[in-house]
Structure 1
Amino acid sequence: MEAIRNYFSSLGEIGDDPDRIVKTLWGIGVNSTNRLSAMINLTAFSGPETFWRVFNQCWSDCDDTWDLQEDLLNTFWHFYYGDSSPHDFMSPEAKEFFSKLPDRITVYRGCDRSRAHATSWTTDLEIAKSFASGHRGIRLPDPVVMTAKVWKRDVITLIQDREESEVIIHPGSLRYLREVKVLGSQFAE
């Protein structure tokens, strides 16, 4: 982390330029496991438009974000209110997908059992199964697939760049949270 701080210090003022922030998030010393922390720090004094553009572009390249859930939720709160909505900065594909969602959405999360109450969910059960089975080489000690209902109005943003139908929500908006039944090593609804 010290190397990242030194690198950021050497950059000088990044300001409110989303392109420069995104470029920095793929710079020296930044990888998928520390990208979220760097993103939160680099956007801390930016405006909502900059934060949401950077978040929507970089979120799917962040791994192992569990320890930053509280920081992430505080950051969402900081940038959520204002003249614009996070939905304004979703990709065209995400906006189209979002427009077709029903008012009440079924979401899924593949994760370790201890990490079910989190911000990142999907509308695709198969994607959740892949995360529970060790997505991107990350093995889980106690894998589970969870499902819940969430109101469309409670969706903070939606990410479509990896075709994961990812829905970002506040964990407090989850309703009817339950585990998807496990059959052998397979998950079934």
Structure 2
Amino acid sequence: MTRASQLEAEDFGPNEKLPQFGLCAEYFETSPRQEIREQALRLSKSADPLSVWRGLAQHWGSWDFINHDGWKPIFKRARHAWTSDVFSDKQRAMYDALPDNITLFRGSDAKLRNSHRRLSWTLDFEIAAWFARRTNLCGGKGVVYKGLLNKDEIALCFPGREQEVVPFSALVIKDIETVAF
């Protein structure tokens, strides 16, 4: 089973089709996860920077439809306090195993302003393509971006099903291009 089909099976069950209503941002606007995410964003604006990184390392990977523009200034403010000690053992193992230069992918909606300058990327092209296809089902214009990142610019990484990598700033991702999916 590919990681993309694993995402689909975990989210919707192995025999279910992707329901259009369950995939769109409007569905999540009132979800408890969205409220928790926004509360975390508000609290992190005044929290100790190291605590911010620890909280993000623990929770970022469980959020959908993240307010990237809201988090960018917090990442910038807290950058000096980052240490790889914020990672769990699995996150640290993933981080340590990464090469110095990494190829990343991002599935997004081309209709979003600066959708290539968001923070959540993946190491797996198939995962990015899954997110782009999900966008298409919601009436968006799915796109997959490919970019290069130096390992020392990684703020967060998640070894789970999405193989997610989050840079300190989307501006450090180089040579971003669209790729067919």
| TM-score category, normalised to shorter length | 0.7 to 0.9
Letter in 2 for 1:120: S
SS in 2 for 1:56: helix
What is residue 11 of structure 2 aligned with on the other side? none
What is residue 36 of structure 2 aligned with on the other side? 35
Shift of 1:52: 1.4
**Following the alignment from structure 1 to structure 2, what is the Cα–Cα distance between the partners of residues 89 and 140?**
38
Change (3 A) 1:153 1:58: same
Pairing 1:147-158 to 2, within 5 Å after superposition? 147-158=146-157
Change (3 A) 1:163 1:86: farther
Letter in 1 for 2:164: E
Shift of 1:111: 0.7
**1:78-136: CA deviation from partner (whole Å, max 9, x where unpaired):** 21213xx242211211111111111110000011013221111011111111111218x
CA contact 2:116–2:176 (8 Å) conserved in 1? no
What is residue 90 of structure 1 aligned with on the other side? 87
Q: Is it true that 1:116 corresponds to 2:116 in the alignment?
A: yes
Shift of 1:34: 3.5
What is residue 47 of structure 1 aligned with on the other side? 48
Shift of 1:41: 1.1
What is residue 59 of structure 1 aligned with on the other side? 60
State TM-score, norm by structure 1: 0.70
Unpaired runs of 5+ residues, structure 2, are 1-29
Give the number of aligned pairs. Answer: 148
SS in 1 for 2:175: strand
Pairing 1:107-146 to 2, within 5 Å after superposition? 107-113=104-110, 114=112, 115-134=115-134, 139=138, 141-146=140-145
State TM-score, norm by structure 2: 0.73
Q: Is it true that 1:78 corresponds to 2:77 in the alignment?
A: yes
Change (3 A) 1:56 1:91: same
Runs of 4+ in 1 over 4 A off after TM superposition: none
Higher RCO by CA contacts (8 Å cutoff, separation 6 or greater): 2
Q: Is it true that 1:106 corresponds to 2:103 in the alignment?
A: yes
**1:118-160: CA deviation from partner (whole Å, max 9, x where unpaired):** 111011111111111218x973510011101111111112123
Change (3 A) 1:96 1:134: same
CA contact 2:101–2:149 (8 Å) conserved in 1? yes
More moved, 45-54 vs 107-116: 45-54
Q: Which has the higher helix share?
A: 2
Change (3 A) 1:96 1:52: same
Unpaired runs of 5+ residues, structure 1, are 1-28, 182-186
**Following the alignment from structure 2 to structure 1, what is the Cα–Cα distance between the partners of residues 161 and 79?**
24
What is residue 174 of structure 2 aligned with on the other side? 175
